[in-house]
Structure 1
Amino acid sequence: MSAPARILGTAGHIDHGKSSLIRALTGTDPDRLAEEKSRGITIELGFAQLQLPDGSALGVIDVPGHERFVRQMIAGATGVDLALLCIAADDGVMPQTREHVAVLELLGIRTCVVALTKCDRVDAEWRELMIGEVRAFLRTTSFAQAAIVPTSTRTEEGLDDLRRALAEAAARCEATHARSGARMPVDRVFTIKGAGTVVTGTLWSGAVAVDDELEVLPTLRRARVRSVQIHDQPASEAQAGNRTALNLSGLSTDDIRPGDFLATPGSIEPTDRFDAWFTFLSPIRERKPLKSGARVRIAHGTRETFGRLLLMDEQPSISAHESAYAQIRLEEPLPVSAQDRFIVRSYSPVAVIGGGVVLAAHPRRRTSPTGADRELLDALRAGDADAALAAAVRMQAAPFTAADLARATGVQPTAAGASLRDMAGRGELTALGSTGTYCARPVLQRALGAIDAALLKFHAANPHERGVHAADLLARTKLKMSPDAFDAVVALAVSEGKVHAEAGTLSHPKAGAGARAAEEQLGQRMLQVLEAAGSTPPALAELFREAQAGDQSLAYRVVNALEHEGRIVRAGKELAFSAAAFAALEQAVRDHLAQHGRATVAELKDAMGVSRKYAVPLVEALDERRVTRREGDARVLA
Structure 2
Amino acid sequence: MGPAGHIPLTIGTAGHVDHGKTALIKALTGIDTDRLAEERERGLSIELGYAELALPDGRSLSVVDVPGHERFIRAMVAGATGFDMFILVVAADEGVMPQTREHLDVLAALEVRNGIVALTKCDRAGDEARELARDEVAGLLPSAPLVEVSALTGEGLDDLRTELVTLANQVEGERQSRADGSDEPAVLHVDRSFSLRGIGTVVTGTLWSGAVAAGTAVEILPSGIGARVRSVQVHNRDAEAGRAGQRVALNLGGVAARDIARGDAVTTPGAGLEPSYRLDVELATRGDADGRRVQVHHGTRAVPARVVALGDGLAQLRLEAPLVARDGDRFVLRGISPPRTIGGGRVLDPAPRRHGARSGAAARLTAIRERGLDAVIADEERRRAEANRQRAAAARAAPQEPREPLDHRAQLMLAVLKADGAEPRAAGTVAERVGIPSRDAVAALDRLVDHGLAVRVSPDTYYERGALEELRARAVELAQERGEITLPELRDALGTSRKYAQALLEHLDATKTTVRHGDRHILRRAGV
Same fold (TM over 0.5): yes
> Does 2:263 correspond to 1:259?
yes
Match of 2:45 among 42, 46, 62: 42
Quick one: which amino acid aligns to residue 297 of structure 1? Q
User: Partner of 2:313: helix, strand, or coil?
Assistant: strand
User: Partner of 2:352: helix, strand, or coil?
Assistant: coil
Quick one: which amino acid aligns to residue 270 of structure 1? P
Quick one: which amino acid aligns to residue 68 of structure 1? R
> Does 2:377 correspond to 1:392?
yes
The 8 Å contact of residues 345 and 354 in structure 1, kept in 2 or not, is answered as yes
The 8 Å contact of residues 50 and 57 in structure 1, kept in 2 or not, is answered as yes
Aligned counterparts of 2:314 and 2:105: Cα–Cα separation in 1: 19
Match of 1:469 in 2: 452
Match of 1:441 in 2: 386
Distance 1:470 1:57, change over 3 A: farther
Match of 1:378 among 366, 371, 392: 366
User: Partner of 1:35: helix, strand, or coil?
Assistant: helix
Aligned counterparts of 1:280 and 1:165: Cα–Cα separation in 2: 33
Match of 1:276 in 2: 281
Match of 2:188 in 1: 184
Q: Choose between structure 1 and 2 for higher RCO, CA contacts under 8 A separated by at least 6 residues.
A: 2
Identity of aligned residues (%): 46
Match of 1:408 in 2: none
The 8 Å contact of residues 368 and 376 in structure 2, kept in 1 or not, is answered as no
User: Partner of 2:258: helix, strand, or coil?
Assistant: coil
CA apart distance, 1:269:
1.3
Deviation larger for 176-185 or 227-236 = 176-185
CA apart distance, 1:167:
1.4
Match of 1:111 in 2: 114
The 8 Å contact of residues 308 and 357 in structure 2, kept in 1 or not, is answered as no
Match of 1:27 among 27, 30, 40: 30
Match of 1:72 among 55, 75, 81: 75
Aligned counterparts of 2:454 and 2:250: Cα–Cα separation in 1: 47
Q: Map 1:35-434 to 2 at 5 A.
A: 35-138=38-141, 144-173=142-171, 174=174, 178-179=180-181, 180-267=184-271, 268-281=273-286, 289-313=287-311, 324-368=313-357, 373-382=361-370, 384-385=371-372, 388-394=373-379, 396=380, 400=381, 429=382
CA apart distance, 1:448:
3.3
Aligned counterparts of 1:87 and 1:232: Cα–Cα separation in 2: 30
Deviations 1:456-514 (A, max 9, x none): 23x344499999437669xxxxxxxx989x99xxxxxxxxxxxxxxxxxxxxxxxxxxx
Distance 1:113 1:99, change over 3 A: same
Aligned counterparts of 2:403 and 2:45: Cα–Cα separation in 1: 79
**Structure 1 unaligned regions, length at least 5:** 139-143, 282-288, 314-322, 401-428, 430-437, 474-481, 488-638
Aligned counterparts of 2:124 and 2:42: Cα–Cα separation in 1: 21
> Does 2:23 correspond to 1:5?
no
Distance 1:41 1:306, change over 3 A: same
Aligned counterparts of 2:295 and 2:396: Cα–Cα separation in 1: 48
CA apart distance, 1:381:
2.5
Quick one: which amino acid aligns to residue 448 of structure 1? A
Distance 1:451 1:358, change over 3 A: farther
The normalised TM-score by structure 2 is: 0.72
CA apart distance, 1:126:
3.1
Alignment root-mean-square deviation, CA = 2.9
The 8 Å contact of residues 28 and 157 in structure 2, kept in 1 or not, is answered as yes
Quick one: which amino acid aligns to residue 355 of structure 1? G
Distance 1:470 1:356, change over 3 A: farther
Aligned counterparts of 1:330 and 1:483: Cα–Cα separation in 2: 36
Q: Deviating runs (4+, > 3 A) in structure 1?
A: 1-4, 174-179, 373-376, 388-394, 450-453, 459-473
The 8 Å contact of residues 278 and 317 in structure 2, kept in 1 or not, is answered as yes
Deviations 1:259-278 (A, max 9, x none): 10000012211111010111
Distance 1:369 1:114, change over 3 A: farther
Deviations 1:385-428 (A, max 9, x none): 4xx5554345x3xxx4xxxxxxxxxxxxxxxxxxxxxxxxxxxx
Aligned counterparts of 1:257 and 1:231: Cα–Cα separation in 2: 21
Aligned counterparts of 2:392 and 2:333: Cα–Cα separation in 1: 43
The 8 Å contact of residues 376 and 392 in structure 1, kept in 2 or not, is answered as no
Distance 1:89 1:333, change over 3 A: same
Distance 1:369 1:232, change over 3 A: farther
Deviations 1:115-154 (A, max 9, x none): 111112223343233212211122xxxxx42111111112
Aligned counterparts of 1:361 and 1:130: Cα–Cα separation in 2: 42
The normalised TM-score by structure 1 is: 0.60
CA apart distance, 1:353:
1.7
Aligned counterparts of 1:64 and 1:119: Cα–Cα separation in 2: 21
Match of 1:495 in 2: none
The 8 Å contact of residues 189 and 206 in structure 2, kept in 1 or not, is answered as yes
Aligned counterparts of 2:48 and 2:359: Cα–Cα separation in 1: 44
Match of 1:456 in 2: 400
Aligned counterparts of 1:203 and 1:468: Cα–Cα separation in 2: 54
Deviations 1:249-295 (A, max 9, x none): 111122111110000012211111010111113xxxxxxx4452222
The 8 Å contact of residues 259 and 303 in structure 1, kept in 2 or not, is answered as yes
Aligned counterparts of 2:395 and 2:261: Cα–Cα separation in 1: 50
Match of 2:427 in 1: none
Aligned counterparts of 1:471 and 1:166: Cα–Cα separation in 2: 69
Quick one: which amino acid aligns to residue 380 of structure 1? I
Quick one: which amino acid aligns to residue 135 of structure 1? A
**Structure 2 unaligned regions, length at least 5:** 412-447, 457-467, 474-528
Deviations 1:291-321 (A, max 9, x none): 52222211111111111111114xxxxxxxx
User: Partner of 2:259: helix, strand, or coil?
Assistant: coil
Aligned counterparts of 2:453 and 2:187: Cα–Cα separation in 1: 41
Distance 1:8 1:122, change over 3 A: same
Distance 1:177 1:297, change over 3 A: farther
The 8 Å contact of residues 310 and 362 in structure 2, kept in 1 or not, is answered as no
